[in-house]
Structure 1
Amino acid sequence: MNDTTMWWVLAGALVALELATGTFYLLMLGLGAVAGALAAMAGYNISTQLVAAALVGGAGALLLGQWRQRQVTTATQADDQFLDLGATVEVEAWDAMGTSQVKHRGAAWTAVLAPGQTATPGVYRIQAMAGNRLVLEKT
């Protein structure tokens, strides 16, 4: 297998892995692999190919990191993203793992207790969202 083919296979694998994980950093590294493939197609040696891949992939990852740091979420935007905060749900029972299945807005959600809360049935307020789980506190 020649250098160009290896670079294209690596680029494809990085893009596929990015699609599976959802992180754009792997996409930037995939772009670096494309730069390595283009350098190989141009006839450069392996050292130059590695430098091209490292420069493009590294620069892309750094620029992406800086761009993400500049993205500021205002309090209003945060409120718009988490409209469920403060809503109440009925908890019928807690399992041994400290979780419960609750109905909220017509869908089943996994709920966990906020720190310092006791697992008893009743009405709870949504304090936060941790991924796809509701963090509840007793009302």
Structure 2
Amino acid sequence: MADWIMWLIGAGVLVILELFSGTFYLLMIAIGMAAGAATALMRIDLPGQTLAAAVVGVIATMLLRRSRFGKFQRTNAAADPNVNIDIGQSVHVPEWQERSARVMYRGAMWDVELAPGVPAQPGTFRICEIRGSRLIVGA
């Protein structure tokens, strides 16, 4: 079997594995292997093919790492409504005691704490964050 076919089979396998992993890094190595196949089509020997595949794969991986797709963004799960369905819901607080209260929410008693800068007045508040079993609420 020709060298370029082996490079393309390897690239295809990496593309399939990349679909299962959910990252783009295996795709970048597959691009490097496609460069190895292109080098093989130019009738350059195996060390040259391997060098071309390695250089293109490393450069593609470095470019991916510097792009916005390669950066892992951490979010605060306690304040993320995609993680916790209670964020953004409203809760009624009848009275405050030293910027905290105890209220019934979703059939259970919860400790409620005011977010910084919110006045301690009775009323309806929006849940901004959840820390353990404590609801942090804002206006």
Give 2:92's aligned residue.
none
Give 1:19's aligned residue.
19
TM-score by length of 2: 0.55
Letter in 2 for 1:83: P
Letter in 2 for 1:32: G
Map residues 1-139 of structure 1 onto 2, 5 A cutoff: 1-68=1-68, 82-84=80-82, 87-88=85-86, 122=108, 127=130, 137-139=132-134
Higher helix proportion (structure 1 or 2): 1
TM-score by length of 1: 0.55
Instruction: In structure 1, list runs of 5 or more residues that go unmatched.
Output: 90-121, 128-135
Instruction: In structure 2, list runs of 5 or more residues that go unmatched.
Output: 88-107, 111-126, 135-139
Distance 1:8 1:69, change over 3 A: closer
> Is the partner of 1:43 in helix, strand or coil?
coil
Q: Alpha-carbon deviation of 1:87?
A: 4.8
Provide the C-alpha distance between the structure 2 equivalents of 1:72 and 1:25, rounded to a whole number of angstroms: 13
The RMSD of aligned alpha carbons is 3.7
Give identity over the alignment, percent. 34
Higher radius of gyration, 1 or 2: 2
Letter in 2 for 1:55: V
